[in-house]
Structure 1
Amino acid sequence: MARGRSAGYEDQRDLILQQAARLFAEQGYGGASMNAVAQACGLSKPALYHYFRDKYALLLNITEGHVTRLQAQFDAVAQMELAPEPRLRELIRRFVAEYAQARYAHRVLVEDVKFLQPEDWERVRAIERSVVDGFAQTVEALWPQVGTARMAKPTTMLLFGMINWMFTWFRPDGAMDYDAMAPIVADLFCGGVAAVKPPQGKPAKRRGRIRVVPTGAPP
Structure 2
Amino acid sequence: MVRTIAKDHDEKRTQILKSAAKVFADQGFDRASMSLLARECGISKANIYHYYDSKDALLFDILDTYLKDLRETICGIDLEGLSPDERLHAIITATLQAYQGADNEHRVQTTGIPALPSEQQDTLRGYQRDMVRQMSEAIGAIAPEVFEGEKGKLYATTMSVFGMLNWFYMWNSRAGADAREDYARLVTDLTLNGVRGL
Give the shorter-chain TM-score range: 0.7 to 0.9
* C-alpha separation in 1, matches of 2:116 and 2:21: 15
SS at match of 1:101: coil
Paired residues, number? 190
Residue in 2 that maps onto 1:93: 93
Q: Which runs of 5+ in 2 are unaligned?
A: none
1:129 aligns with 2:129: yes
Which residue in the other structure is 1:164 paired with?
A: 166
Shift of 1:173: 5.9
Matches within 5 A, 1:3-152: 3-77=3-77, 79-81=78-80, 82-150=82-150, 151-152=153-154
Tell me how far apart the structure 2 counterparts of residues 19 and 44 of structure 1 sit (CA, whole Å): 14
Distance 1:73 1:173 in 2: 19
2 CA distance for matches of 1:131 and 1:97?
A: 14
**Equivalent residue, structure 2, for 1:185:** 187
Q: Which structure's residues are more often helix, by fraction?
A: 2
Report deviation, 1:185: 2.1
C-alpha distance in structure 2 between counterparts of 1:152 and 1:36, whole Å:
43
Consecutive unaligned residues in structure 1, runs of 5 or more:
193-219
Segments of 4+ in structure 1 off by > 4 A? Answer: none
- CA displacement at 1:149 relative to structure 2: 4.6
Aligned 8 A contact 1:172 1:178 in 2:
no
Matched letter for residue 46 of structure 1: A
Q: Which residue type is aligned with residue 145 of structure 1?
A: E
CA contact (8 A) 1:137 1:152 kept: no
CA distance in structure 1 between the partners assigned to 2:83 and 2:2 by the alignment = 51
Structure number with greater CO (CA < 8 Å, separation at least 6) is 2
CA RMSD in angstroms, aligned pairs only: 1.9
Q: Aligned pair in 2 of structure 1 residues 52, 135: CA closer, same or farther (>3 Å)?
A: same
TM-score (norm 1): 0.80
